[in-house]
Structure 1
């Protein structure tokens, strides 16, 4: 392992629940993925995958993408505390009230076959994103939404 970076809220310093680890080799990374992916950490399933540079062929990492890539704009929000029944189209319909939804996705757990309780929405502008955050705490499908901006550390 060469480097570990935990993603944290810049205001509170609290972990966002994800991070990046740079390994010394592809084989070392494959071993870590095999050992840790889908393991339980504090009651939550940990996802461990390659963060591949999309300019490189995925075959270099020993796998080919199984899904179509989804374009996500830099104007992205996290939507948490979703009901398991919520579909990407449900989120798109709800958040399109604030402007152009570039993409909407709800993460899916391949092991359980259920949707996870969070997703992501990308907008075409920062104004739309800021307006959409107003839905934080709103009841949707019997649950109070948690809506947060996804901070992109690569922004200028």
Structure 2
């Protein structure tokens, strides 16, 4: 049994280091990508304060398909290139969006979402999934959040 207890008083960089280490321990030796994504979504929910959604969209047959997550029900399929998740998948670049309502083509799966961080997961030079974090406040995510989730994506790319 794993019992990870994040310390919310730590600086973001240290909290993300602990998150990545916990993710590494939790997924080490497990070959089932869906099981790993499910545990990682729960882990992000525990480690990252002020979220209303945390999870994955997987690239399947040229579109994003909902993967394991924590939060309210979400859009099941998102075309590559559409919305914040689709932009991250098509460009292969992190999307740090302070105000989702100002993002051209934003797809509103949860009306409570005000800001979003989406990080592509790249394996063998190909985007295989995106990590999607939503928050109910504008400008919730900073560069430290993006860097922490980018490191997480690198670490778990071969495990999902």
Do the two structures share a fold, i.e. TM-score over 0.5? Answer: no
As a proportion of its length, which structure holds more helix?
2
As a proportion of its length, which structure holds more strand?
1
